[in-house]
Amino acid sequence: MIIKKRPSWALSHADVTPESVFLNRRRFMTGLAATAVAGSVLPRWSAAAQVPVQGEALSYTAMPRFSTDEAKTPLKDVTHYNNFFEFGTGKEDPAKYADEMVVDPWSVTVEGECGKPGTYSLEDLVKPVDYQERIYRLRCVEAWSMVIPWIGFPLADLIKRFEPNSRAKYVAFETLSDPKHMRGQRSFFSTIDWPYREGLRMDEAMNELSFMAVGLYGKALPKQNGAPLRLVVPWKYGFKSIKSIVRIRFQETEPKTSWNMIAPQEYGFYSNVNPEVDHPRWSQKRERRLPSGLLSTNWIETRKFNGYGEQVADLYKGMDLKKYF
Ligand code: MTE
């Protein structure tokens, strides 16, 4: 008999008392007006939508149960030390060039093994959602890390709306393909077969930690961080947290993923943060917590599953994590 232990973070909605609620009244009222107009067409929506708009504040409920109290990485580092290869390979390239990306209007195509395929506007996707703030650790495979206050909603809530069927064993994600506005996709030297792709096993995607971010530090996601909609999977290396998502596909087979396609011996499908499994070219035992400089390098020990083992270790019971790295 399998007895399912309820982890400490798996509280019902009623158990959680929001510690702080931040409301941007103007956007809230705009949302109410939009709901009133859309109401006759889409009656099932009751919540006030708040479509993320570049530079604007979002309303959210803080979720201390899902948040670390470690020092947050300053906004300047979060937004100026990025990996977004669609805009170049330098850490500052995304901040310099991501503004060229067009994020409005935005839609996401949902396809494959589900009952509700279709193309959904960003507004459709966020309309029934109450945003949460979760302060997660982000550990890059390159051995640096940050602590980021994300705004968004559980990926599981989004997935349920598309009614995946029993053949949906995996979910695949794709980033926008737009070489005209994404200079990295035009680059002759790029090794990535665009669009950038990622994927999760269905039970990983449904885990309560998997998060769809639309904002950080209280405001809509800056373009360099993956506006308007990105995945955040905090127990996996950062490259699993795909940015600027335009396609979600439910499928029976393991999806192809960008870094695994480039170097399968270096980047596996699972890519769980694991100090016991080194990258073939460097150690994964430690990480540089940003901000870090020449005088204060700020190296810290890396934790298995990035410190989220209590929440996710069960997903990998019986699996050889050296083989399925
Ligand atoms: N998503 C897309 N589409 N393109 C990318 O190059 N880089 C990944 C991930 N998501 C990437 C992406 C990597 S390697 C990391 S570490 C994180 O985004 C970095 O997120 P950040 O720049 O917001 O810190």
- The residue to mutate among 141, 217, 232, 241, having the most atoms of ligand 1 within 8 angstroms of its beta carbon, is 241
Angle at CA 88, nearest 5°, toward 151 and 126?
25
Give me the residue label for tokens 């997935």.
159
Question: What are the tokens at 152?
Answer: 């968004």
79: DSSP letter: H
The whole-number average pLDDT for the span 83-109 is: 98
Angle, vertex CA 93, rays to CA 235 and CA 188, nearest 5? 100
Residue nearest to atom 6 of ligand 1 (CA): 84
Token output for 264 = 């399968």
The answer to whether 16 and 65 have CB atoms below 8 angstroms apart is yes
What digits encode the pLDDT tens for the residues 158-189? Answer: 999 999 999 999 999 999 999 999 999 999 99
- Residue 240 Cα to ligand 1 midpoint, Å, equals 8
Give the angle subtended at the CA of 41 by the CAs of 155 and 43, to the nearest 5°.
60
Structure-block tokens of residue 51 = 């479509």
Q: How many domains does the chain have?
A: 1
Indicate whether 3 belongs to any domain: no
* pLDDT of 208 above 70: yes
Taking the centre of ligand 1 as the mean of its atom positions, its distance from the CA of residue 83, in whole angstroms, is 5
Residue 324 within any structural domain of the chain:
no
Please check whether residue 67 lies inside any domain of the structure.
yes
Question: Is 183 part of a structural domain of the chain?
Answer: yes
pLDDT, average across residues 143-167: 98
Predicted confidence at residue 160, as pLDDT, reads 98
Residue 6 lies in a domain: no
Can you tell me which atom of ligand 1 is nearest the CA of 231?
A: 10
Provide the total of helices (H) and of strands (E) in the chain, helices listed first.
9, 14
Which amino acid, 145? S
Give me the domain span that covers residue 125. Answer: 13-316
Give, using CA atoms, the residue closest to atom 4 of ligand 1. Answer: 84
Per-residue pLDDT reduced to its tens digit, 240-284: 999 999 999 999 999 999 999 999 999 999 999 999 999 999 999
| pLDDT at 216 > cutoff 60 | yes
Does some domain include residue 2?
A: no
Whether residue 153 has its Cβ less than 6 Å from ligand 1: no
Q: Find the CATH number of the domain harbouring 256.
A: 3.90.420.10
Asked if residue 56 is part of any domain, the answer here is: yes
Q: Is 239 in the pocket of ligand 1 (CB under 6 A)?
A: yes
Q: What is the mean pLDDT of residues 113-133?
A: 97
Residue with tokens 């060229």: 100
Distance 13 CA to ligand 1 centre (A): 31
Residue 202 contacts residue 222 (beta carbons within 8 Å): no
Q: Is the CB of 137 under 6 A from ligand 1?
A: no
Whether residue 149 is contained in a domain is answered as yes
